[in-house]
Structure 1
Amino acid sequence: MRIRSWLKREREKKRITQQSIANNVGVERQYYGMIEKGERNPSPKVAKKIAVVLDIDWTLFFEEEGNKLFPVE
C-alpha cells in the first residue's frame, strides 16, 4: 500500500473536503478516501480531474517517488 500523505496534505492546505473533491470529480467520497489512503489507484481520467481541483501534477499518482516530492513537514 502506498500512502499518499502528500495528497491529503495538499487537500487540507486548500481547505477542501474529501466530499467536495469527490463531487467535483464524479466519484463516491469513500472511493476518493481510498485513493488518498493509497488503497486504490485512480484511473488516469480521475487522476487528471483530482489534479485540476488541487492544482497538482496528475502523474504523481503513478510515480513511486510521489511521497518524496512532498516530504512530511
Structure 2
Amino acid sequence: MIPYGKRLIELRGEKSQEEAAKDIGIATSTLGMYETERRIPRDSIKIAIANYYGKSVQEIFFTP
C-alpha cells in the first residue's frame, strides 16, 4: 500500500509545497504535515486536495 503522504508528494510533482498549499487554501506547513503523515486532513480538506489534483478522495487516501 502506498502511504497517502507519498501519493501527495507524487501528485504535487514539480510544484513547490508553497504553491500547492496556496492553491488548495491551506498553510504550507499544513501540507508538509500531510505529506509526512504527521496529520490527517479533515474530510473537507481531503475533498479540496482531491479536487486540486483531479483525483478522488478514495484514490489519494484509501487506495492501496
TM bucket, shorter chain:
0.7 to 0.9
Give 1:3 shift. Answer: 5.8
Cα distance in 1, alignment partners of residues 15 and 51 from structure 2: 13
What does residue 27 of structure 1 align with?
A: 26
Q: Note the residue ranges of structure 2 that are not aligned, 5 or more in a row.
A: none
- Higher Cα radius of gyration: 1
TM-score (ref. length: structure 1) = 0.68
Cα distance in 2, alignment partners of residues 3 and 10 from structure 1: 10
What does residue 12 of structure 2 align with?
A: 11
Residue 56 of structure 1: SS of its match in structure 2? coil
Residue 19 of structure 1: SS of its match in structure 2? helix
Structure 2 residue 23 is the aligned partner of structure 1 residue 52: no
Q: Pairwise CA RMSD of aligned residues? A: 1.7
Higher relative CO (Cα under 8 Å, sequence separation at least 6) belongs to 2
Please, which moves more after superposition, 2-11 or 31-40? 2-11
Residue 16 of structure 1: SS of its match in structure 2? coil
Structure 1 counterpart of 2:42, which letter? S
Residue 4 of structure 1: SS of its match in structure 2? helix
The percent identity for this pair of structures is 21
Provide runs of 4+ in structure 1 moved above 2 Å: none
